[in-house]
Amino acid sequence: MIFTRAESTFLAQQPIGRLATIGPVGEPQIRPVGVHLGPGHCGIDIVGHVLSRTQKWRNVLRDNRAAFIVDEVIAVQPPQARGIEIRGTAIALPGAGSTDGGLSGDVIRISPRRIIAWGLDSPGTTARDVQDDERDEQ
């Protein structure tokens, strides 16, 4: 598994994350999207009702660099938060997903290259690179 048990559990409990892609003129573009673990918990799948007609889809077709972040504030005093940032490559997969609930069946799949987490496996921040062989095992 690419994600730790704590990371997978956290991601499975969260409804909304933010997907960052590279826009047409090279600037980052961020959109709120649902959180869906990919097959075998090997990455993140982005789905939607008209996904292949969105700017994020076109962005991924042009430049496959992407980042995905999910976080939550647990307490304001004292400050306490937890979250995960996934940096990696994205691929547009037409018709690879479900059409349940009116979904288009199209998927943007993010394969992690770097994972940064805070407040999940330890109180501090952890960061690690995901090796190609870890992704290949999935």
Please tell me the CATH code under which domain 5-129 is placed.
2.30.110.10
pLDDT at 138 over 60: no
Indicate the domain borders of the chain: 5-129
Q: 69-122, pLDDT tens digit by residue?
A: 999 998 888 888 999 999 999 999 988 878 878 878 899 999 999 999 999 988
Q: 7-52, pLDDT tens digit by residue?
A: 999 999 999 999 999 999 999 999 999 889 988 888 999 998 899 9
Q: Is 4 helix (H, G, I), strand (E, B) or coil?
A: coil
For residue 20, the model assigns a pLDDT of 98
Q: What are the distances in angstroms from CA 47 to CA 61, 75, 79, 85?
A: 15, 31, 33, 19
Q: Between 80 and 129, name the one with better pLDDT.
A: 129
- H or E segment to which residue 67 belongs: strand 65-75
